[in-house]
Amino acid sequence: MSPAEQINQASGLSREELGTERMRVMIVDDNTFFAKCVTALINHEPDMQVSDVARDYVSLESLLEKSKPNLLLIDVSLGYENGLEVARRLRCRHVDTPILLTSSMAHPSPRELREIGRCEFVSKYQRPADFIGKIRECLSL
């Protein structure tokens, strides 16, 4: 069972309740606690669900085709990797999925976000409603 499936199961929602019509968000974050919290927050929304959770670029690559997310939520500080570089590598591979970068410390410049394309930023310290609002904004890109 994938991490997202485990978290989805822990959320108490059945597959029918999760549905297939929901927008799929893939989380890329090496912080398991944050990933679980954001998964619960997203899965609580009636029109969204977490499709998968990756801890780094390698696991993201292996899950991307299977997961087919509508949005990638990527931590800027992925342990030994840089989330900005991960986003750039995805664009070099012609992955056009909208990207929402997040961090508790780093904040990419507007220029960096524009260069990546279809990319926004939200702080991990945002209120839950604002965090979900930013996800909704990115899903409409």
Tell whether the model's pLDDT for residue 7 goes beyond 70.
Answer: no
Domain map of the chain by residue range? 3-139
What is the spatial distance between Cα 9 and Cα 133, in angstroms, rounded to a whole number? 24
What pLDDT digit, counting tens, does each position of 49-94 carry? 999 999 999 999 999 989 999 999 999 999 889 999 999 999 999 9
Tell whether the model's pLDDT for residue 4 goes beyond 60.
Answer: no
Q: What is the pLDDT of residue 16?
A: 53
What is the four-CA torsion angle of 45, 56, 88, 102, rounded to 10 degrees? 40
Tell whether the model's pLDDT for residue 18 goes beyond 50.
Answer: no
3-class state of residue 48 by DSSP: strand
Query: Taking a C-beta distance cutoff of 8 angstroms, is the pair 76, 84 a contact?
Result: yes
What is the spatial distance between Cα 139 and Cα 141, in angstroms, rounded to a whole number? 6
CATH superfamily of 3-139: Response regulator (3.40.50.2300)
Number of helices and strands (H, E) in the chain?
7, 7
Task: Count the residues in the chain.
Answer: 141
